[in-house]
Each structure stands twice: as structure tokens, then as C-alpha cells.
Amino acid sequence: MTAVLGRGTCGGHVTLLFTVEDMDEDPIKQGSLGAGLCLNDGAEAIARGELGDYALEVKLLDGNGDSKMFQQVLDLLSEEISAISDYSWEIAIRNKLPSSQGFGMSAAGAIAAASAFQRALGLPHEESFRRSLAIAHMVERQNSTGLGDVTALAAGGVERRLSPGSPYSGPDLLTGPGRSEGWTESIPVVLAWRANPGRHTSEYIDDDGWKQSITEAGRKQMEKLSEGSWNSSRWGELLDSAEVFSKQSGLSDDASRSELVDIGKNVSLRAGLKTDTSVLLCMLGESIAIVPRDLSKEISLENLLSELTAEGLDVTLTQLGPLS
């Protein structure tokens, strides 16, 4: 029996500041304002289907991810594409970054999987991409695993989210309530995290106290970041806003995150890069991102990797992702 095959990929996303906008009963309109970094590394999905009884087998190639999420993706796809239900499916998922560490991997995995299923059926790229984003947003809201990662990834690069909600919706997938913008350059990003995941995202975004402190802090920063053109001239402003947000929201003092920032700063100091780098919290993991502060100055961040590993952290070097 002839099988159909499709591949999908999607980079991860680091939220640097955000708000919680979930009061609307319609999950399509739920999301966040905020800003962050879309990454080159993320999730890869390979889908294989054979005509037969509708079913799904999930293979997590690195043991990293949530199998249930991919069934949700497939079920939502089957509601829009009747041919999905004519196949028995397998999907293999490879994540280049860990889950539950603030790297947007649930969104990346859902987008990659939805793209792979649709490409297996030969659907056009642009249509598949938009539907993948819409479905991934719904899955994120169903599971309380994220608010704005999907809308951020719809822009790519260094993104700002100007209105909450899904980036695409409706039968024609033309637009959605969510609106984001991005710009990109060749920027290295060091990610470092504790081996054991911290709190689940839902413990913050579903908690009234955290929602209030996060949203108040996020809106203050977005009042400034939402104005004017969005390009590389705003880089320093974004870094400063991210640091202020982490303190005003209270997140830098929760789950020993301040200790992670101190480790990153000390490692940068030992490497002679203290004034050349910014150490930022990744929301909402127990993780940090270290990036160049001055984009006009070329610096190497590779020396930080061994130093961070010696501090007991897992670490990787990636790049800012392209525009979507």
C-alpha cells in the first residue's frame, strides 16, 4: 500500500515580556501582548499516512514532548480536512530544545506536526502554514501551555505582539485577531537551563495573582514598545524593557530565576563579555538567554558554553530565526 509522507519544521520562541489576555470566552481571541525572540532551532515532524482506520502513533525521537498534543492537532485538522480521517497516521517528532523551559516548544511542535500532516496530503504551502498556526493556537489554549507563542512565530525574528489572539482564523484563513511584527538579523543566542523543568506555564497564566502582576508589568513596557517602527534600532530598548519586566512582574524572584541570571552575568564577566552581553530570563521556564547587546559589534559567545556547563546548566548555541 502506498504511503504518503510529509515534513514540517518550526523554530522555538523565547518570550521576554508579555501580558495575559484570556478574558474573552473565544480562545481565538485569547493571547498576549509582548515581545520576544523567534529561534532557528525548534521542532521537526515527519508524518506518514496509509489508507485505513483513523488512528495516530506518536514517536518522540528524543523522549521530549507531549504525545497527547499531537492527537489534538490531528483531530482539529480532521474537522477541516475530511481526507485526514481516511488515513492511519504515524508521526515522528524531534525537538532540538527541551519542553517546559520557556522555549515555546509546544507551539513549535504543534505547528510542525500540523504542517507535516498537510504536506503529506499535498496541500499548498501557504494554506498549510496558516492552518497550522490557527490549529496550534487552539491547542495551546486548550492545554494552557502558551498564550502568544504562535502569534509570535507568525511574525518571526525579533517580534512584538500588538494585539492578542490567533494570527489566522475563519474558513479562508485570511487574518485573525492576533497581530505581530518582526525583524531579523544574524544574532547568536545562547540558551541555558536547569535540567529539571520548573513550573508548568498554566501555574502562572491560570493564577489570578500572577496574571495581575504579569499583565500590569507587561502593559507598562508595551506602551513604549508598541509605538513607532519595529526594526533593529529598537534592540537596546527591548533588552532594557525585558529586564524591567522580569523585576516588576516578580518573575525574576520566583523559582530561583535570579540565581540563573547571576550565573549568566558571572560567566559573561569571566569571559570578558560583561558589557557586551545581556542576560535575559526566558518566560516561563527556568532558563536564560544570553545575547549581544550591541548589534554593530561582532562577538563570539561560544566560550560561554563550557563555563555555563561547569555551573551545572544545560546549554546550546542557536541563532535568531528568519521572518515567517
pLDDT at position 149 is 97
What average pLDDT does the segment 122-141 reach?
A: 97
Band of the pLDDT at 1, cuts 50, 70, 90?
A: low
* Model confidence pLDDT, tens digit, residues 56-94: 999 999 877 788 999 999 999 999 999 999 999 999 999
Which three cell numbers, joined as nine digits, stand for 92? 515522528
Vertex 108: Cα angle to 92 and 238 (nearest 5)? 155
* The pLDDT of residue 59: 96
CATH C-level class of 1-324:
alpha beta
Answer whether 0.85 is exceeded by the pTM. Answer: yes
Task: Give the chain's mean pLDDT.
Answer: 95
Range 5-14 average pLDDT: 98
Strands (E) across 110-214 are located at 158-163, 179-183, 188-193
pLDDT digits (tens, 9 = 90+) for 240-251: 999 999 999 999
Three-point CA angle 226, 107, 293, nearest 5°: 45
CA distance 115 to 133: 9
Question: Which pLDDT belongs to residue 177?
Answer: 97
Q: Which three-class secondary structure state does DSSP give residue 105?
A: helix
> Cβ(136)–Cβ(73) under 8 Å?
yes
Local confidence band at 217 (pLDDT 50, 70, 90 cut-offs):
very high
Range scoring the smallest mean pLDDT among 3-12, 133-142, 171-180: 171-180
Give the pLDDT confidence score for residue 200 in this predicted structure.
67
Decide if pLDDT at 158 tops 90: yes
| pLDDT tens-digit series, residues 185-195 | 999 999 999 98
115: Cβ–Cβ under 8 A, 6 or more apart, which residues? Answer: 6, 7, 8, 9, 10, 45, 128, 129, 132
